[in-house]
Amino acid sequence: MLLLGAGASISSRIPSASTCIWQWKRSIFLSNHPGMERNFDELSLGMVQERIQDWLDTQPGFPRAGDAGEYGFYIDRCYPRIEDRRSFFQRHIQGAKLSSGYRIAARLAKNNLFRLAWTTNFDGLIARALAETSVTPVEIGLDSTNRIVRTNRAGELSCVALHGDYRYDTLRNTDAEVQRLDRELRQALIDQSISSPIIVLGYSGRDNSIMEALTDCYSRSGTGVLYWCGFGDGPPPEAVASLIAVARKAGRTAYYVPGAAFDDVMRRLALATLGGADREDVLGIIAKSGTEQPASMPFTVPAGAIGGIVKSTAFKLRCPVEAYSFKPASMPEQGVWRWVREAIGERRDLMAVPYKGRVLALGTLTSIHEVFADPMAEAPIRVPIDISELRHEDGGVTHLLVRSLALAIAGARSLPSEGPLLWDPEKPQRRQVDGRSYKVQDAVLLFIRRAGRDTFLVLKPTVKVLAADGSPAPKEDEKAIKLGILGYQHNDKFDAAVERWRRQLFGEGTQFSCPPSEDSGFVFTIDRAPVSAAIVAAPGEAAIPEKAAAKSVQKGFRIREPNLLFASKGNTGMVNDPHPVRGLVSNRPFDFSLTRSGMAHDIKLGVICPQPEGSATAARLTMLEQAASPSETEKDYLLDFPGFAQAFGLPLVIPRPQDLSWRAPDEPSPDLTKERGTRFAARAVIQAIDELRSAQRVNVILIVTPLRWANWRSFETDNERFDLHDFVKAYCARKGIATQFLDEDTLTDPQTCRIRWWLSLALYAKSFRTPFVLQAAGADTAYVGLGTSIDRHGPHGRKVVLGCSHIFNQQGQGLQYRLSKVENPSFDRRQRNAFLSRDDARRVGESIRQLFFEARSALPRRIIIHKRFEFRRDEREGLLEGLAGIAEVDMVEITVDDAFRYVNSKMYSGKLEVDKFPVARGTVIPIGDQEALLWVHGSAAAIRNNWRYYQGKRRIPAPLRIRRHAGTTDLQTLATEILGLSKMNWNSFDLYTQVPATLETSGQIARIGRLMENFGEANYDYRLLM
């Protein structure tokens, strides 16, 4: 038998009981608070629910949150007439679309796996699904309870609506009605469950009458087994746990199955039990459940006059078309990469990599036999190189070709090399770090990139740092020296460095053989001039002469800086500004109506700070109440900080060390080991947080970590990695406690204005307030960030993978997220990235769809999924199946490309010259039909008129490389959305982050989420993990 609750119908677009309750609560709340609709639009946010519930709790006679009578009370308040209730459900049910779960359940019934289906729902979906089969539904409702005693004939399934059918029966929705279960139906449920197994899906045990009947049944002896399936991975609800305990005490078999969604359970049952034509039918349902995807059109560039030229560091490259393939008899199965590297050693006439169980090499036959020795399991033969493998930038073919090319160029130009790095030993610089002397030599890194139908060699100038004795410099010293030299290698200086290497490498010819001076037939040919792109002029931008763009082989465009929305100071609505600091200074935070109404009139700060630093920290925190001006170097972006209250329109209540909302954690003993000290510090912080929360209610807790604790921040052993920050964040998220970590030295940072703006914004946002949102360009659109976390210390050496799907609305607000264990992941060659199986991806897609539906009781027309690495075929197909019902789905891979760089140019006195500022933020260059470069990091308009602003002011920016793996949305829209989402990290007051918030948060949540229980639950606001 089946017993189905409202949760089983969510994927068929029927709202769950919990969703309905919150919609009714919000309706009652907003009817008493007109004008606040914008701030209570997103019901999925925990703080929105909390503010509504806080007000409801002050109303006499209203039930407390979680009370069993909530459903009946609130529907009665919103729809006191039974005709209105009928209309409410009719609207939802008529818009329902059968999910794959119901359709598969009908096939299981056809094969006699179910003979009775009980449901608390009014939707009649199981009967609708049976219409696709030869099974006849026998519908039993409150007006036809006599049918329950009849014996089903072959080809029939009894479908019992325990609370009525909105089409025929008097509905039972209110508390009093629901608790009166029909006597005949109650007895039938007891009698059937005595001897028959029952699977409960999508039901929380909310109705006392049904739970009493089940308790009566399972307190008796019988053979019927109970399988109660819960959607999340958490413990069962109290009523369900009590029922299972009663059953087991009576000797009955009862299970609670966590993480079991209705559609997924039906699918697994069918694939485990059905065969032949019925199994093929089910597979067809699964395959057809996905969103239909029309063919993607190539990315295009809008027409218009050319406004500028950007020059790349990429040169077209023609690689050898074949290589030697062989298999040495002594080739090991494990550690094969190391084995190949050690076999080659320092030789410069051979390069080889393991590839698909063999060795792929460029060199001579003589060198191959000398290095790998006879006998050969498979003799060397020439095989074609699959050039498409170059799309895998850390793949074997790319590794082989780039290192072979480096050997060839180094040999031809008499330069030393190491892997893809070449350097010039002439005219070294001398640098010192803490009295240690180093020799610094100009160097260049080689990259091979595949873009569209072309292959490119990319040059990236760098330096080689050696100690005085010629040995490699320590990593920290090398990093400091590189930062000091390369950090100030801005646009024009970077271009000059590339040009020096271009002349040195290609001045005497652009054909290189591998190995050098050998007629092996393995030849690389490089174009002498780099690729450049002509950029279409933005509105209002002057065009450049046509002849200046004549040699450009690429074409791009620029998109405008996305606007943010703020509340006006005069309470006249919303105003927009692309600049977050100026928008706040000139206006009010987006959710200022909460402050104005008195619902959230201040922000109370709690502080956790070790006792020795207490007095100094308290004095420094008062800076948040004081004004500050930016330094001269920051006036291109920052405005004066006016003090927290003036900036955000409400006071920040800062405690003193003697107050109840200030706690000093116990100190780890200096004698403790790193491992024990870190654990002690984490427990001490958590204990202090618990003490503070029990004594005083605060909005956000500031955790100050002193320099003395540097050794106790984290540790890693062969069996475990422990991070104090992540551990405390995970603990607090489970309890709904917002936290902000603050290093002691941050409070003494000389950039006081910047620090005040950043910390103030973080505290405001983490108090579950909304400082600003994106001015959405398109309605009915939503975003999803997919992230994974790999626990390399899993039991028995297994890699435990946790997936995170974090949803964002069209205004860029991070909403709910869902964590899920990935059952059957696959990994890339280096075991760094995890990929989902088709089944895992389908379940992720279904959970995303459910998250959106629970938040809005409707599905968005379009969903865009962002991911840091490729969407493999199984992932694409599974996600599309799980997102059935979404009209448009885009899947976009977004990575920071470490190789491609472009140099900006500008017209000076009628002549095109290299600019001092880098490529403009918002520049987009298609490099393939489904591939483009996007500069999220780049020069932008400064606050001062006619000034430009380059965030960080370091070297030149790397573009994002975006690849569309599914979808038909045009490039301009995709790029605009990514650019906008780069401004939605409320944990930073920079103009933008270098990746969109979708990727920033999903990866962070997945990492910290490994430490949290209840995977699958979606009741945490992501700001708890910021």
CA-based torsion, 323, 325, 328, 334: positive or negative = positive
Closest CA to 1003 of 819, 870, 851: 819
Distance CA 324, CA 738 (A): 59
Q: 781 and 760: one domain? A: no
Q: Say which residue, 168 or 931, is predicted with more confidence.
A: 931
Q: Are 825 and 837 in contact (CB under 8 A)?
A: yes
Q: 676 and 591: one domain? A: yes
Distance CA 629, CA 640 (A): 5
Distance CA 336, CA 353 (A): 9
**What is the band of 177 on the pLDDT scale with cuts at 50, 70, 90?**
very low
Under 8 Å CB-to-CB from 1001, ≥6 apart: which residues? 785, 787, 806, 814, 817, 985, 1022, 1025, 1026
Domain count, the chain: 4
Q: 762 and 786: one domain? A: no
* SS3 assignment, position 287: helix
Q: 365 and 248: one domain? A: no
CA-based torsion, 201, 202, 204, 206: positive or negative = negative
Residue-level pLDDT at 8? 87
Q: Say which residue, 507 or 979, is predicted with more confidence.
A: 979
Q: 799 and 748: one domain? A: no
Q: Residues 896-929: pLDDT tens digits?
A: 988 999 999 988 877 888 889 999 999 999 999 9
* SS3 assignment, position 325: strand
CA distances from 665 to 522, 606, 607, 743, 748 (A): 66, 13, 10, 15, 22
List of E strands, 665-777? 700-705, 714-716, 721-723, 739-743, 773-774
CA distances from 76 to 21, 80, 306, 525 (A): 11, 5, 64, 78
Residue 543 lies in a domain: no
Number of continuous H segments (helices) and E segments (strands) in the chain: 28, 46
Q: Residues 981-1009: pLDDT tens digits?
A: 999 888 888 888 899 988 887 777 777 76
Residue 743 has pLDDT above 60, yes or no: yes
Residue-level pLDDT at 164? 57
Looking at residue 622, the DSSP 8-state letter turns out to be G
Tell which of 497, 526, 555 closes a domain.
Answer: 526
Residue-level pLDDT at 802? 65
* SS3 assignment, position 587: coil
- List residues bridging with 606 in a β-sheet: 701
Residue 937 has pLDDT above 90, yes or no: yes
Q: 266 and 347: one domain? A: no
Residue 148 lies in a domain: yes
Residue-level pLDDT at 130? 92
Residue 37 has pLDDT above 90, yes or no: no
Structure tokens at 795: 């039991």
Q: Residues 499-521: pLDDT tens digits?
A: 999 999 998 888 999 988 777 78
Q: Residues 859-901: pLDDT tens digits?
A: 888 999 999 989 999 999 999 988 888 889 999 999 998 899 9
Residue-level pLDDT at 829? 66
Distance CA 123, CA 86 (A): 11
Tell which of 253, 271, 288 closes a domain.
Answer: 288
Average pLDDT, the chain: 87
Q: Which amino acid is at 507?
A: G
Residue 87 lies in a domain: no
Q: Are 936 and 979 in contact (CB under 8 A)?
A: yes
47-52, long-range: CB < 8 A, 24+ apart? 47/768, 47/1021, 49/22, 50/768, 51/594, 51/599, 51/600, 52/22, 52/25, 52/26
CATH number of 118's domain:
3.40.50.1220
Q: Which amino acid is at 965?
A: H
Mean pLDDT within 198-203 = 91
Q: Residues 454-477: pLDDT tens digits?
A: 999 999 999 999 998 888 899 999
- Give the N- to C-terminal CA distance of the chain in Å, as an integer: 45
Q: Are 872 and 951 in contact (CB under 8 A)?
A: no
Provide the residue range defining the domain that includes 681: 564-766
Weakest-pLDDT range from 288-292, 462-466, 491-495, 588-592: 288-292
Residue 172 has pLDDT above 90, yes or no: no
Q: 512 and 649: one domain? A: no
Q: Are 466 and 472 in contact (CB under 8 A)?
A: yes
Residue 803 has pLDDT above 80, yes or no: no
CA-based torsion, 1011, 1005, 861, 888: positive or negative = negative
Closest CA to 71 of 126, 124, 123, 5: 5
Closest CA to 46 of 650, 998, 767, 988: 767
Mean pLDDT within 6-29 = 84
Residue 75 has pLDDT above 80, yes or no: yes
Structure tokens at 692: 């503070």
C-alpha angle 24/590/781, rounded to 5°?
65
Q: Are 691 and 642 in contact (CB under 8 A)?
A: no
Give me the phi and psi of 780, to 5 degrees please: 60, 40
Mean pLDDT within 631-646 = 91
Residue 823 lies in a domain: yes
Task: Quickly count: other Cβ atoms within 10 Å of residue 710's Cβ.
Answer: 10
Q: Residues 366-411: pLDDT tens digits?
A: 999 999 887 888 999 999 998 888 888 888 999 999 999 999 999 9
Q: Are 587 and 577 in contact (CB under 8 A)?
A: yes
CATH number of 731's domain:
3.40.50.2300
DSSP state letters, 193-249? HHHS-EEEES-----HHHHHHHHHHHTS--S--EEEE-SSSSPPPHHHHHHHHHHHH
List of E strands, 478-552? 511-513, 523-526, 532-536
Residue 880 lies in a domain: yes
Q: 326 and 281: one domain? A: no
* SS3 assignment, position 980: helix
Q: Residues 538-563: pLDDT tens digits?
A: 887 888 888 888 788 899 999 999 99
Looking at residue 876, the DSSP 8-state letter turns out to be H
Residue 711 lies in a domain: yes
Residue-level pLDDT at 843? 84
Q: Is the peptide bond before 375 cis (omega within 30 degrees of 0)?
A: yes
Residue 678 lies in a domain: yes
Q: 739 and 785: one domain? A: no
Instruction: Please report which helix (H) or strand (E) contains residue 352, including its range.
Output: strand 350-355
Mean pLDDT within 714-722 = 83
Q: 641 and 517: one domain? A: no
Residue 174 has pLDDT above 60, yes or no: no
Residue 335 lies in a domain: yes
**What is the band of 660 on the pLDDT scale with cuts at 50, 70, 90?**
very high
Tell which of 766, 797, 830 closes a domain.
Answer: 766
Mean pLDDT within 714-737 = 86
Structure tokens at 32: 């008493």
Taking the CA atoms of residue 883, residue 885, residue 888 and residue 890 in that order, the dihedral angle to the nearest 10 degrees is 0
Highest mean pLDDT among 71-75, 179-183, 237-241, 737-741: 737-741
Q: 657 and 621: one domain? A: yes
Distance CA 605, CA 700 (A): 5
Q: 586 and 456: one domain? A: no
Distance CA 244, CA 252 (A): 9
